Structure 1
Amino acid sequence: MKVSVIIPVYNTVEYLEDCLESVINQTYKDLEIIVVNDASTDNSGLVIDELMKADNRIKKYDLTERKGVGSARNKGIEVATGDYLYFVDSDDVIHENAIKHLVDHIGDDRIMSGSVSTIKSLDQMEEFEENEVPEIKVRKTSKVYTSRTVQKGLFSRKAVIDHNIKFLENVTTYSDYSFVYAFFANEPYTQYTRDSRYFRRKRVDLINNPNILEEADYYQRSIDYLNMYLSVEPEYSETPNVKYIIDTDLMNFYRKTFLLFMRDPEEYEEVFDLLNQVFNKLSSKVYRKQNPFVKREIRAIQKGDAEKFKNLIRLHHILSDVKRGATSRTNLRKLIYNRVFLKQSVKRDHVVFESFMGKGYSCNPKSIYEYMLENRPNYKFIWINNGKQLDIPGNPKQVKRYSLGYYYYMARAKYWVFNTRLPKHVKKRDETVYLQTWHGTPLKRLGVDIEAVQMPGTDTGRYKKNFTFESSRWDYLISPNQYSSDIFRRAFNFDNKMLEYGYPRNDILHQANQGDIDRIKKKAGIPVDKKVILYAPTWRDNQFIEKGKYSFELPLDLDRMREELSDEYVLVLRLHYLVASQLELTGYEDFAYDLSTYDDIAELYLISDILVTDYSSVFFDYANLNRPILFYTYDLDDYKGKIRGLYFDIETEVPSPLLMTSDELINAIKNIDELNENYKEKYKEFYNRFCSWENGKAAENVVKTVFGEEA
C-alpha cells in the first residue's frame, strides 16, 4: 500500500530539512512525498530541490502565489496517487516508525490515528519510548481528534475522493475542521495507537519566524472560526451527531477564546453580524446546555441587539473578574487595578522608580532620581521595593512590589522609570510615559537575539514574544554608546526614541573625588590604605540545578591570592544574587570582602584600582575610569558554545589579555603597570568606542528630554 505524505511549505527553511528527512527515513518505504511550496519567499524551495536529488520519491509543486495551508493540502490531495494520505506540517517531524505502525494495523479501515507530542528540540524525540508490539485501541473518532487537526492520522484517499472531502481555503486558521468533521460523519469510530508518534515542534523565535496559525491574533481567529462554521455547518445540519459536535465546538470557542480575549467592545461590533449569522444556526440541544448568563448573550446575538450584547459582555467580564479576584489576594489586587485604579485620572507629577525588580536603590533609576530630587523637587516620587525598606534620600513614598499601593501608583503615575522589564499583566495607559533605562552595554546576546534561553522553566519562543511585547511599551530607552543602540534596536525590536546620552549611573564616575572614594571605603568596611581588586563575574545561565536552585564554586585560589597580594590589596567580591548566598569566606575576613548585596556597583567601581571580570558588561562602565581591567575567562570555550553567546569577539576586542588560571591572574596583578603600558593604545580605542558619550551629564540630559526643560 502506497502512502502519499503531503507537506505544505511556507517559509520554514529553518525546520524543513529536519521535517523532510524524518519522512525520508521512515521504516515504511512505499511513500510518495508530495511537497507543496506555497510561494515561499525564503530558501525553502532550494532545500526541497536538494533533497529531491537524493530521493526520487519527493515531488515538488510550486504555487505561484500564496494560497494558505488549506489550498496547499488540497493541491496535495489532487495530485496524490497513494492508497492513503498522511499530512505533515513542514516545521514538524515524525518518529521513524510513525507511518509503519499505522499501515500495519489499519486493515480495511479508512482511518487510523497515532498520537502527537509537542517538543522544543529534536533531542526530546529520544525520550519517546516505543512498545515492541504497538498497543491498539478503538475510540470515537471525535474523541481521538480532540484538537480537530489532521496531524497524526492516516486517511483513505478513496474515502476522501468518494466523499469530496477537502480543507477549507477561505480561512487562515481552522482549515482542518472541514476535513475532520467529514470523517466524524463517515467514520464514527477509529483505531489509534500512541506508538505512531507525530512530533509538533514548538518554534523558538516567534518574532522573526512565527507560526502563522498559532500566532494569529484573537480577532483574526474569531473571524476565521465564524467563517469556518458558516462553511461547514450547512453540510451537517441534518446529521444530528456531527451537528452536535460542531455546535459544541462553537460554544467552547465562544467561551474560551472569544469572550476571554476580545474584551474591547469596538471589536465586537466588527464581528457582530457574523455572530448573528452563526448563532441563529445553533441547535436548541446545545443552547439548552448553556448557563443562564450565556443564554442571555446568545439571545441578544440572535435578535441582532448589539447594544444589549455589549452590555451583557461587559457584565460577564466584571463577574468573571470578581470571581477570579475572590480566589486570592493577588488576583483581587489585579482586579482593583484594572477595574478601579485604571479608571482614575493620571497624576501628572507622580514618578515611579524601580531598580532590579525592587531589590535595591541603585543603577540608572537612582541617578535619575537624585538629579530630579535636587532639580525637580516639585514631583512626587515613589520607589518600589521587594518588601524591605530601602535607604533612599529625600524620603520618597515606598511601596512593596505587587502590593495594593504598587498597583495604585502604577495606574496613576504619569511616569515610570525602570531598569528591567515590567510584569506583562501591568497595563500601560496611553497617558503614561515609560522610561526604560536598561542596565548595561550588551556583551551577551539579548532579547530576540538569544537562540535558546537556558533558564529553568523558561520557554524560548514565549520569552522572545513577551520581551518584544514589553519593549513595545517603552517610550524612551537609554543607550550608553552607538554599539548598544544598534543592538538594542534589533534585539528589543525597539522603534521609539533612543536617548543617546550615556548611562546616568556613570555620571558619578566623572564627578567623584578622592574624598568620595574614602567615604565609600569606610561605608563598605574596606581599609582606606589598601588598594582594591574588584571581582565581578557575570551570571552564567547554566548555573542551575533546578528551578529555584543554583550551583556555584568560586574559581579563584584565595590562599595564593592572599599570600601574594594582601600586603598591597584587598579583594572585593560582587557576585550575582542567585549564587552569592553560597559564597563561603570564613578565614579570609582580612583579605576578601563579599559586597554582592551592596546596592550601587558604581560606588564599588570608584573604590577599585583593578577590575577583574569575564563576560559581564561591567567592564564597559568601569572603562570610564581609565583604570586596569583584567579578563579572567577560565571557561571561555564552554561559555561561547553552550551558554548565551557573545556579540563580539572577546578574544580580540577587549583591552587586556585573557587569563585562564588563578596563577595567570595573580601574575597580571603583580605586573599591572607593565600590562597597562602594553595595552595603552588598545584601551584608548576601546574607550573611544564605548565611553565617548559619557560626560557626567547623562541624568540631566535624560530628565530634560523626558520631563521637559525646567520651568
Structure 2
Amino acid sequence: MPRFSVIVPVYQVQAYLHECLESVLSQSCPDLELIAVDDCSPDACGAIIDEFAARDARVRPVHLAQNVGLGPARNAGAAQASGDYLLFLDADDTFTPHALRSIADRLKETGDPEVLVFDYARTYWNGETVRNQAALHLTEQGPAPFRLEDRPGLLRLLMVAWNKAYRREFIEEQGFVFPPGYYEDTPWTYPVLMTAESIATLDRVCVHYRQRRRGSILRTTSERHFDVFEQYDRVFAHLDARPELARWRPDLFRRMVHHLAVVYSRRDRLPHGSRADFMRRARAHYRRYRTPGVPLPPRSRIQHVLIRFGLHRTYRTLQGASALHRATARTSGQLLRGLSSAALRCHYRVQRCLPLRADRAVFTAYDGRGHGCGPGALESAFRDLAPHIRTAWIARPEHHHTIPPGTRRLVPGTAGYWTALARSAYLVSNTDFDDRLVKRRGQVLIQTGQGTPLGHIGLDLLERPAAARGRDFARLLRGVDQWDYVLSANRHTTLTHQRVHPGRYTVLEYGNPRNDVFRTATAADVTRLRASLGIPEGTVAILYAPAHRDYRRSQRRSLDLHRIVRRLGPRFVVLARAHQAYDAPLTSTCGRVVDVSGHPSVSSLCLASDALVTDYSSLMFDYANLDRPIVIHADDWEAYEAARGTYFDLRSFPPGAVARGEDELIDIFATGHWRGSRSAQLRSAFRERFCAYDDGRAAERVVRRVVLGEPEPPPVVPLGERRPVPSAAASLTREPLATIALPVTAAVAADSA
C-alpha cells in the first residue's frame, strides 16, 4: 500500500500535462501511486497518460467513456486509490521539489491527522511567482493536530481541494465526494474541514498554482458561474444534516457573501445582461441562509447591504464611480509626475552651475537599498577619519531605518537627491549612479564593486545572453568612464575589472571595506547578534545564501531547509537569506528555519552564524575572512556555468567541502566533515588567494589615499597574524553534532582520507 495516492483529473491540458506528471514522479518521496484520470479529453492527453504509464509502474491510467467534469473525474480517481493519503493535483499545476517528502515528514510529526493543509504559490505565465497571501494561517507553531475550532482562520484560505492531504479512511468513512459543477471545491472543502477531528498544517509551498494567460475555467465568461448558488445549497444542506456543525453557519454565511460578491464584481465571469439576475439570486441566498443577530465584519458591511437588498444598479454605480475615480487619479498623477520631472531636471541643471562642495560626500548601495556593503563601510570611515566631510546616503524610504544617526537621508528622485549629485565632491556606490548623472570636473567617483567575482561580469557577459538579459553595455561603459577609483580585494578582482570594465580609473587593491567589520567585531558582538536573531545557545547556525540564477525567471529553492534541520536534529538552525535580486524570501520562518532575507546587514548574519552554505555567491570570499567553515552546494554547476560562466572551477578550488545534492549536504554536517581537517586545509588555501588584503583597514586605506591625500596607505597585517573573532560553535565538542547516523558518501570519504 503506497503512502500517497495522487489523483490528477485531465481535460484539454496537453501543453502542461508533461510538467505536471513529471513533478509528481520526480518527487524525492517515491512511495506513491499516480492516478491520472482522462476525462474523455479530445486532445492528446490520453496518449500522454499512457506514455507515462508505460514508463513508470506507479502511474495508473483511468480513461472515462464520456466527459463528466472535474469533480466526478476526481471521484473516479479516488475510487481507484489505495494509498494512506489522497492528494489532488490539477493537470496544469505542479508539485514543488521535495513537496511529498515534506508532507510525509509533517504527517509523521503530527500523528497522521485526518487532514493536512499546506501552502501554494501562484505562478504566472511571465515567470512571476507569488505566495498565498493567507499563509499566516498555516503556521506550525502551537499544538498539532487540532480541530477547526482551534484555528478557524483556515476557512479564509482559498476553497480548493489540492492544498490538502486527506487520510483515505476518513474520506471513505464520511462519504465525501465531489459534486459536478464549476465550483465543486466549495461543498468539499468546508465540510471536510468542519468534520475532521484532527487537522495539521505545513508552512511550506508544495503546489505551484498556474495562472494561465488564457483558458482558465474561472476566467471564462459563462452562465455556468451561476453554479455557485447550487454549491452553497449543498454546503448548508450538509450543516442541516449535522446539528453538531451548526456553530459554523455564521462563518460560512459570511464566506458565501464574500464569494458571491467576488463572482459578481469580476468582469470576466458573468455574461452581459446576466448580472441583474445573479444579484436577485444572491439576494435570495442571503435571506435564506442569514443568521440573525450575528455581527457583520466592518470591512464588508457595504457588500452585505448591497447583496441583502439586491441593489444591482447601486452596486454597478459604485463600481463605475470607483473606476472613474481610479482613471481620474491615474491621469492626474501622470500629469503631476511629468511636471515634477521637468522641474527636477531644471533644478539639477541650476545646481550643476553652482560651486562644488568639497566637504560633502554622497553614498548609495544596490540602487537605493539600505546602508551597507562597501559604500556603508566607507561612509563610516569618512565620518571617523574625515569628520570635516558631511555624508549623505541615498535610499528608498523603507530602508532609511538602516542609515546611522548623523548621516543625511536622501530619497531617490527628490530635489535634495539631485542637489547632492550635482554638488557633492565625492560620489560612492557599488552600482552605477543614475544614468542622468553628469559628472562634473572635480568630482571623485569611487566604485566599490560587489565583492570578488566568481561568475562573469561586465563585458564578459556579451557572449552570455541568458545572464546579460537585455543589459545595456553602452550604458555600462558610460558609467565606467565616470569612475575615478575602483576598489579590489585581491589580484583576481583587479585583473578581472581591468579587462571587463576598460577605463582610465585607478584600481585600489586595498581589500574589501565591507569585510573590515570581521576584524573589529568581538565575541560580545557575536553573542548579541545571535540573541537578536533568536539563535538558541549551544546550537550551530548555518547561513544559507544562494546566488542569483540567470537561467531562471523566478527564484527556486533547491534545498528543502525544513527537512535538513529535521534530519540534523535540534543542535542545528538555518538562517535563510534570499539573493537581493529577487525581493522575496526563500522560505518562511518556522521552527529552526529562520528567514533573514529582510535583515539589513549580511555582515551581521555572517558574524552570527557558524558556517556558510552557498553555491556560487561572492559571499563565500567575504566569509572566508572569518576562517569559519564553508560548504558549497553545487547541484547545478553545469547549468550555472553554461548561463553565466565562471572565472575558475569552484569544484576544483573550493573553500571547503562540496555537496552535489541535498543528502550529501546532510552527510557533510552529520559526520562533522564541514569542520574537518581537510575542509580547514581547503579554506586556508582559499584565504591565501582571495583574502590577502582584508585585514580590517581597507576602508581606512581608501579614505587616507583618496580624501586625505596620504601617498602611502597603512601596511597590511599578514594573514598568519590575523585572529578573526571565533564563532559560537567553535567551543562545542568536535564530535558530530547531528542526531542521525548516515552512510558516509564518496565526498566525505575522500575528505577523510
| TM-score normalised by length of structure 2 | 0.48
Match of residue 489 from structure 1: 498
Cα distance in structure 1, aligned partners of 2:395 and 2:538: 35
Counterpart among 467, 481, 498 of residue 476 in structure 2: 467
The answer to whether the 8 A contact 1:387-1:401 is kept is: no
Residue 375 of structure 2 aligns with which residue? 365
Question: Does the 8 A contact of 2:544 with 2:614 survive in 1?
Answer: yes
Contact 1:337–1:411, Cα closer than 8 Å, also in 2: no
What corresponds to 2:415 in structure 1? Answer: 404
**Is the 2:657–2:674 contact (alpha carbons within 8 Å) kept by the matching residues of 1?**
no
SS of equivalent to 2:378: helix
Give CA deviations for 1:37-83 in whole Å, capped at 9, x if unaligned: xxxxxxxxxxxxxxxxxxxxxxxxxxxxxxxxxxxxxxxxxxxxxxx
Q: How does 1:172-251 map to 2 (within 5 A)?
A: none
Q: Could you say if the C-alpha distance between residues 664 and 329 of structure 1 is closer, same or farther in structure 2, counting changes exceeding 3 Å?
A: farther
Q: 2:403 and 2:466 mapped to 1: Cα distance?
A: 32
* Aligned counterparts of 1:457 and 1:485: Cα–Cα separation in 2: 22
1:185-334 to 2 correspondences below 5 Å: 328-329=338-339, 331-334=341-344
Distance 1:407 1:333 in 2: 11
Following TM superposition, by how much is the alpha carbon of 1:326 offset from its aligned partner in structure 2, in angstroms?
8.9
SS in structure 1 at match of 2:375: helix
Between the aligned partners of 1:595 and 1:466, the Cα distance in structure 2 is 33
State the one-letter code of the partner of 1:621: D
SS of the equivalent of 1:383 reads: strand
Q: CA deviation at 1:372?
A: 2.2
Q: Distance in 1 between matches of 2:445 and 2:339?
A: 27
Q: Aligned AA for 2:550?
A: D
- 1:518 corresponds to which residue? 527
Going from structure 1 to structure 2, the CA distance change for 1:379 and 1:456 (only over 3 Å counts) comes to same
Aligned to 1:181: none
**Are 1:438 and 2:449 counterparts?**
yes
Q: Distance in 2 between matches of 1:539 and 1:485?
A: 23
Aligned AA (2:434): P
Equivalent residues of 1:353, 1:417 under 8 A apart: yes
Q: Alpha carbons of 1:633 and 1:456: their partners in 2 closer, same or farther (altered >3 Å)?
A: closer
What's the counterpart of residue 651 of structure 2? 651
The alignment covers a number of residue pairs equal to 377
> Which secondary structure state, in structure 2, belongs to the residue aligned with residue 615 of structure 1?
coil
Q: Distance in 2 between matches of 1:476 and 1:447?
A: 16
Evaluate the alpha carbon distance shift between residue 407 and residue 674 of structure 1 in structure 2; reply closer, same or farther with a 3 A threshold.
closer
* Among 388, 406, 415, the residue aligned to 2:426: 415
Alignment partner, residue 691 of structure 2: 691
Q: 1:580 Cα deviation (Å)?
A: 5.0
Task: Name the CA shift for 1:528/1:344 in 2 (closer, same or farther; >3 Å).
Answer: farther
Match of 2:556? 553
Please give the secondary structure, in 1, of the residue aligned with 2:462.
Answer: coil
Name the structure 2 match of 1:680. Answer: 680
The alpha-carbon deviation at position 346 of structure 1 amounts to 0.5
**Rounded Cα–Cα distance in structure 2 between residues aligned with 1:674 and 1:437:** 32
Tell whether the 8 Å contact from 2:381 to 2:699 is kept in structure 1 after alignment: yes
Structure 1 residue matching 2:425: 3-state secondary structure: strand
- The whole-number CA distance in structure 2 between the counterparts of 1:710 and 1:635 is 47
Structure 1 distance, partners of 2:528, 2:379, is 21
Percent identity, aligned pairs only, is 31
Aligned residue for 2:668, secondary structure, equals helix
Give the distance between the partners of 1:652 and 1:458, measured in 2 at CA.
Answer: 29
Q: Which amino acid aligns with 1:390?
A: H
CA contact (8 A) 2:461 2:468 kept: no
The amino acid that maps onto 1:519 is R
Paired amino acid for 1:410 = L
* CA deviation profile, 1:583-623 (whole Å, cap 9, x unmatched): 442xx622011111212211111111110001111101101
Contact 1:373 1:394 in 2 (8 A): no
Say whether the 8 Å CA contact 1:453–1:459 is kept in structure 2: no
**Paired residues of 1:477 and 1:499 also in contact (CA < 8 A):** yes
Letter in 1 for 2:578: L
Task: Specify the code of the residue in structure 2 equivalent to 1:629.
Answer: I
| Closer, same or farther: CA 335–557 of 1 in aligned 2, 3 Å | closer
Matched, 1:567 2:570: yes
How far apart are residue 528 of structure 1 and its match? 4.2
Structure 2 equivalent of residue 234 of structure 1: none
Question: 3-state SS of the aligned residue for 1:428?
Answer: coil
Deviation at 1:512, TM superposition (A): 1.1
Q: Is the contact between residue 456 and residue 646 of structure 2 (CA under 8 Å) also seen in structure 1?
A: yes
Partner residue of 1:533?
542
CA contact (8 A) 2:361 2:427 kept: yes
Cα deviation, residue 700, structure 1: 0.7
Matches within 5 A, 1:556-635: 556-579=559-582, 581=584, 583-585=586-588, 589-635=590-636
Could you tell me which runs of 5 or more consecutive residues in structure 2 were left unpaired when the two chains were aligned. 1-333, 712-753
> What's the offset of the Cα at 1:654?
1.3
Deviations 1:150-183 (A, max 9, x none): xxxxxxxxxxxxxxxxxxxxxxxxxxxxxxxxxx
Instruction: Report the alpha carbon displacement of residue 538 of structure 1 after superposing the two structures with TM.
Output: 0.4
Where has structure 1 moved over 4 Å in runs of 4 or more? 324-327, 452-458
Q: Is the 8 A contact 1:325 1:335 kept in 2?
A: no
Hey, what's the Cα distance between the residues in 1 that align with 2:396 and 2:340?
A: 15
Aligned partner (choices 371, 381, 394) of residue 391 of structure 2:
381
Does structure 2 retain, via aligned residues, the 8 Å contact 1:325–1:331?
no
* Structure 2 letter corresponding to 1:420: T
- Tell me by how many angstroms 1:675 deviates: 5.6
Instruction: Give distance in 1, aligned partners of 2:489 and 2:468.
Output: 32
Contact 1:333 1:403 in 2 (8 A): no
Q: Normalising by the residue count of structure 1, what TM-score does the alignment of the two structures yield?
A: 0.51
Matched residue type, 1:605? C
Q: Deviations over 1:528-560 (max 9, x none)?
A: 44221000110111232xxxxxx2232112343
In the alignment, which of 362, 365, 382 is matched to residue 352 of structure 1? 362
For 2:668, the aligned partner's letter is A
Distance 1:383 1:597 in 2: 19
1:219-266 Cα distance to aligned partner (Å, 9 max, x none): xxxxxxxxxxxxxxxxxxxxxxxxxxxxxxxxxxxxxxxxxxxxxxxx
Superposition CA RMSD, Å:
2.4
Which residue does 2:208 correspond to in 1?
Answer: none
Instruction: Give the Cα–Cα distance (whole angstroms) in 1 for the partners of residues 447 and 626 of structure 2.
Output: 25
Q: Shift of the alpha carbon at 1:457? A: 9.8
CA distance in 2, matches of 1:669, 1:419: 35
> 1:621–1:457: structure 2 CA closer, same or farther, 3 Å change rule?
closer
Give how far 1:674 is off: 6.8
Q: Give me the whole-angstrom Cα distance separating, in 2, the residues matched to 1:661 and 1:457.
A: 28
- Structure 1 residues 344 and 626, CA, compared in 2 at 3 Å: closer, same or farther? same
* Structure 1: runs of 5+ lacking an equivalent: 1-323, 545-550
1:325–1:332 CA contact under 8 A, matched in 2: no
The answer as to whether partners of 1:478 and 1:503 remain within 8 angstroms in 2 is yes
- Report the alpha carbon displacement of residue 625 of structure 1 after superposing the two structures with TM: 1.0
Query: Against the structure 1 CA distance between its residues 494 and 456, is the aligned structure 2 distance closer, same or farther, given a 3 Å change threshold?
Result: closer
Counterpart Cα distance in 1 of 2:467 and 2:412: 23
Alpha-carbon distance in structure 2 between the residues aligned to 1:361 and 1:674: 32
Aligned AA for 2:351? F
Q: Counterparts in 2 of 1:10-21, with a 5 A limit?
A: none
Judge which range, 631-640 or 647-656, deviates more: 647-656
Query: Which residue number corresponds to residue 448 of structure 1?
Result: 459
One-letter amino acid matched to 1:611: L
- Provide the C-alpha distance between the structure 1 equivalents of 2:497 and 2:672, rounded to a whole number of angstroms: 34
After superposition, the C-alpha distances for 1:295-324 in whole angstroms (9 at most, x for unaligned) are xxxxxxxxxxxxxxxxxxxxxxxxxxxxx9
